[in-house]
Amino acid sequence: MTVSVPTRASGTVLWFLIAVLAAILLGTTASASAAGVVENRVGAISHTIEPAVGPPQHIAAGQSRDATLQQPQIVVATGVAAETAALDATTGGRVYSAHYLNDTGPVRNIPGSMVDETIDNGQVLKDLADRTVYYDPKNDVTVVPSKTTGKVMSVRRGMP
C-alpha cells in the first residue's frame, strides 16, 4: 500500500483557500448580528413601516369624520374641596336644569355646596311668579331656582 504525502505546493494552495474562505466569512455580517435590520443587496438599510388600520383614534365609533373634536374640559380649582355627589344635583340634593348642566354650568364651575349655601343663607333679591333670585354677598354668587320645576336654572358669579 502506498501513501501519498502532500507536496509543498498543494499545502500552500490549501492554506491559501482557507485564508480566502476566512476573509470572506469574517468580512460579511451574519443575519443574527444584524439586530433585526434588513439590508438590500447594496447594503442600504430598509426600515419597515406598519400602516395604521382602522379609523383615526380621535373619531369614535358611529361618529362622522366631519364632526368637531371634543375638547378637554379645563377645571379651575376654586379652593373648595371636590364634591362626591351626583353631577346633576348639588350636595344638598337640588337638581340642576338641562340648560345649566349643558350650557352654563361647565363654563362657570361653581360648586354645588356654594349653590346650596346661597339658597339657604343668601338674600332674596327678586321673588317672581316662576322663580326666585338669591344672592350671597359673602361668595358673590347669584342662584336662580325655578318655582315650577324646583330645578336650579342659573348660577353665576356676581350680582344679577
| Model pLDDT, residue 67 | 54
> Mean pLDDT throughout 133-146?
93
pLDDT in tens, 98-118: 888 887 777 888 888 898 999
Average pLDDT over residues 58-65: 58
Q: How far apart are the first and last CA of the chain?
A: 125
Cα separation, 157 vs 133, in Å, equals 13
* Residue whose cell numbers read 443575519: 31
More confident residue, 125 or 38: 125
Average pLDDT on 135-150 reads 92
How far apart are alpha carbons 124 and 143 in whole angstroms? Answer: 10
Query: Residue ranges of the domains in the chain?
Result: 98-157
pLDDT (tens digit, 9 = 90+) per residue, 17-32? 888 888 887 766 555 5
Confidence of residue 87 (pLDDT cuts 50, 70, 90): low
Question: 85 pLDDT band (50/70/90 cuts)?
Answer: very low
At 120, give phi and psi (nearest 5°).
-75, -40
Q: What letter represents residue 33's amino acid?
A: S
What is the model's pLDDT at position 79?
53
Q: What percent of the chain has pLDDT over 70?
A: 56
What is the radius of gyration, based on Cα positions, of the chain? 40
Q: Is the predicted pLDDT of residue 141 greater than 80, yes or no?
A: yes
